[in-house]
Amino acid sequence: MVSFLLQLGDSIFYRSTNGCATRFAKSLSRLRFVSENSAKFPGWGCAINGIQVKVTFSKAVDRISAEKTANYTVTGLEGAKAVSGVQLLNEKEVLLTLGAALNNGSEYTVKASKEIKDAAGTKLGVDVETKTTLNDVTIPTVTEVKSLSTSQVQVTFSEPVKTLGASVNSSVEIFPVKADGTEDTALPHVAAATSSENGKVWIITLNAGSELKPGTKYNVYLNKDRQVVDYVGYVAAAAKVELSYSADVTVPQASSLDVLGQEYVIVKFNKPIKTFNASNVYWNVDGSESNNSNVGQSFEKIDATTFKVKFNLIPGGEKHFFVKGAEDFAGNVAPTAKFTKTIVDAITPAVSAIKLVDSDTFKVELNVEIADATTVFADDASTADKTKGRAFYPITDKDGNAVLVKSVEYGKKADGTDDHAVRLINVYNPLAQGNYTVKVTGLKDSLGRVLADKSEVINVANMPGLVAGATASAATGTQTKDQILLNINETTSASVSEESLLNTANWIVTTPVGTKSFAEVAGAKVTKVSSELYILEADKGAVRVTSQIQAVGLKTADGKTVAPFTATPVAATALDLGSNDFVASTTLTKKQVTIKVNGLLGNVNPADFRLFENNVDQTAKYVQSVTFANSTVKTANTSTITITLKEDLTLTNAYGLKVAASNIGTKDIFGNKLVANSGLILQDTTSAAISNAFVADADTAGNVIKVAFDKDVTASSLNKADFKVKTSKGTELTVDSVANTGDEYATITLDAGTDIPAGEEVTVEFKKNLSTALVTDGSVTTSSFRITGVSLDKGENPAIIEGDESMTITFNKAINPDVVAKIAAGDSGVTATAITTAFGALTGDTLFGTDPANTLEYDVDGNTVTITFSGLVAADTATAAPDAPLSFTPDADAELADGTTAIESV
């Protein structure tokens, strides 16, 4: 299903709304698919329905670690969704079932733990996150109906469903078809139903007397009452299925048993099984069926015929497994099946590594989990427990003196649970520079096997982890150099070239003929881009750019040795505007377009970018400039392309960006060019924010406030309860209504009679609760637009003035200079006693006579207006009130600098 469509030139861009939210671009010459969730190592996750997420890995995974619920988290705005089940679908895909439903249209973060292993047993090493948006537009349907026995029928749906009705009878009906073709509806034939596989499979039990009979046809009706729905609320399609019963004469049998490591077995039967328990499977060494002392501890039903059984750790060697006591739906008991398997001690328990993680903590890594409370202790443990625990981890300094251990604790897994394969050894005081010997001795695994002692001499200056990330680009087309970009965590490299990152001899790389010193590779060169970025460059094809590299022989600027470190570069992302691998996010506003892309840019050519409005190329009309800025934060290399516009866009129109067809000049730091003819759809997804506010009344009531947002909002989406107006003294004023005309201003009317005194500051707060507008919380403080002072240049007695006189009027806010243009030409030389201008009325009977030579000039400078009277002579002075002062009455049409026509009368 396509959610929107935009044609840019000769290309058409769609966004689908299926469960995995795939975006694709279809040009006139080809069809190209780009995943919304880029398949970064180790994989990516996508929500496929309201309660399940599929995680796809880039290579085969180890089933045991891949099926651990603790190795996955799914989090959205509403918080974490518990992972209640994990099923391996094939060697690269697992299906997560959640304990709570996802919200359709919402985005979720799926995290796979670093503890997951590939099929070869190698851990991922880092937690990997991917984002997915549930876009479920599929109606659940019935895919299969079959009989399991004379009294039970299995119904399979296309996805997990649930029933809203209290009675199953209302959602499932089964009627025999009589010889005349009519249905026997005399009895309610359905007694109950149970679900499995999270509601995807229903087992229907028939009432006594309604058992299925061979040769009789049955009509099965499902969801006639529309009470069966999926987990986003879509009603399952009603169905009528014809069912014929054939007697099942197959004896249930365990057809296979597969061993998974030393804790799990997978048992598969030849037909659906109704009754199964973990104790139905056991093992022994002597091969005797009666010896059932080692039974399964728990089990998981994978489907109707397959079960995963967990045992306590099974020692290596030949073991005899027995499957006994399972029953099918007809009540037939499966005969005892025996399987002989060889259990391999896949990993000899050992200490993998001893590391220094900070100035007072050592880390011990084991290749197996050992949950032994005597090997860990807290700082407040008893002296006896500390003494026992410290014996496993003796530490001495360079002089052989013992370093007292404060505490030892388990590490933590991604889900926050204890990692029994890690020990964190904490000492009391930060370690001084020098060598320390850390020993691990006497640890035993759960089978009683003693781990070999391991000692490590650690210099506290040898802190690995210099490289935060690496990106590679293989030379293509006319390019002649392969390149690897390194992100450096710290500025530790010495200035002496032989010991620095710039020395090609300090790098070991992978070439087509094996590993070599980088100094031996054709065209080898190391360039320092910045303190955080270095580029390794070699002739085309001389290195395997995405294979592991290693740095050796480095020293810090103060002469301390840097431990050797390795990095495995990932391939640079193609500069394709139609790919989510390249485009991280876009922002569209009335005044500019910003595109955040993955990777660093070397150059941007403005001519490469064509802006379309409603399928019309309007680049010349709108685009003023195109610039870019790179950002490096360890592993996060990104660049932001900013397109500044000449005039405001109309955000209700459709906009898109397309790359020119040829002569592309935009390149990344490696020299790779932007993909010609690629494009993307631009949408305004930003929230409006309060930018200003004004006391908008021009009368003395002062009970209207005009709130300005940085983009258009609609009155119907704003709720008055979300606005609060407070004075500088803390008094909260009651909001009577909020309205607007569909522009960026909202008008707040306070209760009748409420007055904001001239000069009083008020704060308008918006906290989104009941409003539906896309508006962020915010506040702004304002006061009425008012006069703060009036003065005359030569004095206040106009009766003695001749020549020129200037009146200066000062406001508390800036005036729009454009109001000068509003002064009518007739204002010069008028004879009226009140001159009306865009600023208001000037009154002074003693000043103005009938001489047309009198002129007025206005000058606006920020918040000051200067009015100069020219051509005044004594004859102009009226006699009625020779001492009457000049006065000023502002007009409601006076404007603030931002165009708000609101002024407080004085």
**What pLDDT digit, counting tens, does each position of 172-195 carry?**
889 999 989 899 887 778 877 777
Most confident range, picked from 57-61, 368-372, 656-660, 765-769: 656-660
Measured CA to CA, the distance from residue 318 to residue 313 in angstroms comes to 14
The more confident residue out of 142 and 30 is 142
For residue 718, give every residue at least 6 positions away whose Cβ sits within 8 Å of its Cβ, in sequence order, or none. 738, 740, 746, 771, 773, 775
Q: Is the pLDDT of residue 528 over 80?
A: yes
Tokens read off for 618:
């309007």
- Predicted confidence at residue 239, as pLDDT, reads 93
Same domain, 233 and 269: no
Q: Is the pLDDT of residue 3 over 90?
A: no
**Does 905 map to a domain?**
no
Average pLDDT value for residue range 119-123: 85
- Predicted confidence at residue 804, as pLDDT, reads 67
The more confident residue out of 114 and 32 is 114
Q: Is the pLDDT of residue 628 over 80?
A: yes
54 confidence band (pLDDT: 50, 70, 90): very high
- Predicted confidence at residue 866, as pLDDT, reads 76
- Predicted confidence at residue 241, as pLDDT, reads 94
251 confidence band (pLDDT: 50, 70, 90): very high
Average pLDDT value for residue range 607-624: 95
166 confidence band (pLDDT: 50, 70, 90): low
Same domain, 700 and 664: no
Q: Is the pLDDT of residue 441 over 80?
A: yes
Q: Is the pLDDT of residue 333 over 80?
A: yes
Q: Is the pLDDT of residue 208 over 60?
A: yes
- Predicted confidence at residue 6, as pLDDT, reads 34
Angle made by CA atoms 437, 442, 444, in degrees to the nearest 5: 130
- Predicted confidence at residue 716, as pLDDT, reads 67
- Predicted confidence at residue 823, as pLDDT, reads 34
**What pLDDT digit, counting tens, does each position of 757-801 carry?**
766 788 999 988 887 777 888 899 887 766 777 776 765 554 445
Same domain, 472 and 562: yes
- Predicted confidence at residue 754, as pLDDT, reads 78
**Does 524 map to a domain?**
yes
Contact 666, 674 (CB under 8 A): yes
Looking at residue 21, its amino acid is A
Please report, rounded to a whole number, the percentage of residues in the chain having pLDDT higher than 90: 30
Same domain, 180 and 274: no
Average pLDDT value for residue range 463-490: 75
Same domain, 702 and 667: no
The more confident residue out of 800 and 206 is 206
Q: Is the pLDDT of residue 72 over 50?
A: yes
**Does 899 map to a domain?**
no
- Predicted confidence at residue 661, as pLDDT, reads 92
Q: Is the pLDDT of residue 163 over 50?
A: yes
- Predicted confidence at residue 564, as pLDDT, reads 60
For residue 344, give every residue at least 6 positions away whose Cβ sits within 8 Å of its Cβ, in sequence order, or none. 316
Same domain, 379 and 452: yes
Same domain, 624 and 673: yes
DSSP state of 314: P
Measured CA to CA, the distance from residue 45 to residue 107 in angstroms comes to 12
**Collapsed DSSP state (helix, strand, coil) of residue 889:** strand
Contact 572, 672 (CB under 8 A): yes
Q: Is the pLDDT of residue 881 over 50?
A: no
Same domain, 107 and 59: yes
**Does 5 map to a domain?**
no
**What pLDDT digit, counting tens, does each position of 820-851 carry?**
433 333 333 322 223 333 343 444 333 344 44
**What pLDDT digit, counting tens, does each position of 124-147 carry?**
888 888 888 999 989 999 999 999
33 confidence band (pLDDT: 50, 70, 90): very low
The last residue of a domain, from among 182, 209, 244:
244
The more confident residue out of 429 and 404 is 404
- Predicted confidence at residue 371, as pLDDT, reads 87
Same domain, 651 and 596: yes
Give the closest residue to 51 by CA, choosing from 104, 109, 126, 102.
102
Can you spell out the DSSP letters for 110-163? Answer: EEE-TT-BBTTS-B--S-EEEEEE--------EEEEEEEETTEEEEEESS-EEE
Q: Is the pLDDT of residue 425 over 90?
A: yes
Q: Is the pLDDT of residue 889 over 70?
A: no
Average pLDDT value for residue range 619-646: 89
Q: Is the pLDDT of residue 890 over 60?
A: no
Average pLDDT value for residue range 854-861: 61
860 confidence band (pLDDT: 50, 70, 90): low
The last residue of a domain, from among 754, 782, 810:
782
Tell me the helix, strand and coil percentages in the chain, rounded to 5.
Answer: 5, 45, 45
The more confident residue out of 373 and 687 is 373
Q: What's the mean per-residue pLDDT of the chain? A: 79
549 confidence band (pLDDT: 50, 70, 90): confident
**Does 282 map to a domain?**
yes
Average pLDDT value for residue range 49-78: 88
Measured CA to CA, the distance from residue 820 to residue 866 in angstroms comes to 11
- Predicted confidence at residue 557, as pLDDT, reads 61
Q: Which of 25-29, 475-479, 578-582, 876-880 has the lowest mean pLDDT?
A: 25-29
Q: Is the pLDDT of residue 499 over 60?
A: yes
**Does 316 map to a domain?**
yes
Q: Which of 20-29, 100-109, 176-185, 857-866 has the lowest mean pLDDT?
A: 20-29
Q: Is the pLDDT of residue 461 over 60?
A: no
By residue range, what is the domain housing residue 847? 787-890
Q: Which of 289-293, 323-327, 721-725 has the lowest mean pLDDT?
A: 721-725
Measured CA to CA, the distance from residue 3 to residue 12 in angstroms comes to 13
Q: Is the pLDDT of residue 290 over 90?
A: yes
Characterise 543 by phi-psi region: left (phi > 0), alpha (psi -120 to 50), beta (else): beta
Please report, rounded to a whole number, the percentage of residues in the chain having pLDDT higher than 70: 77
Same domain, 777 and 791: no
Same domain, 592 and 671: yes
Same domain, 109 and 127: yes
- Predicted confidence at residue 770, as pLDDT, reads 82
631 confidence band (pLDDT: 50, 70, 90): confident
Q: Is the pLDDT of residue 887 over 70?
A: no
- Predicted confidence at residue 409, as pLDDT, reads 95
381 confidence band (pLDDT: 50, 70, 90): very high
Is the torsion defined by CA of 531, 535, 536, 538 positive or negative?
negative
**What pLDDT digit, counting tens, does each position of 557-580 carry?**
665 556 566 778 888 889 999 888
Burial 8-44 (b: 16+ CB within 10 A, else e): bbebbbbbbbebbbbbbbebeeeeeebbbbeeeebbb
**Does 902 map to a domain?**
no
Tally the domains of the chain: 8
The more confident residue out of 417 and 499 is 417
The last residue of a domain, from among 75, 98, 133:
133
- 76: domain CATH number? 2.60.40.1220
- Predicted confidence at residue 852, as pLDDT, reads 42
**Does 859 map to a domain?**
yes
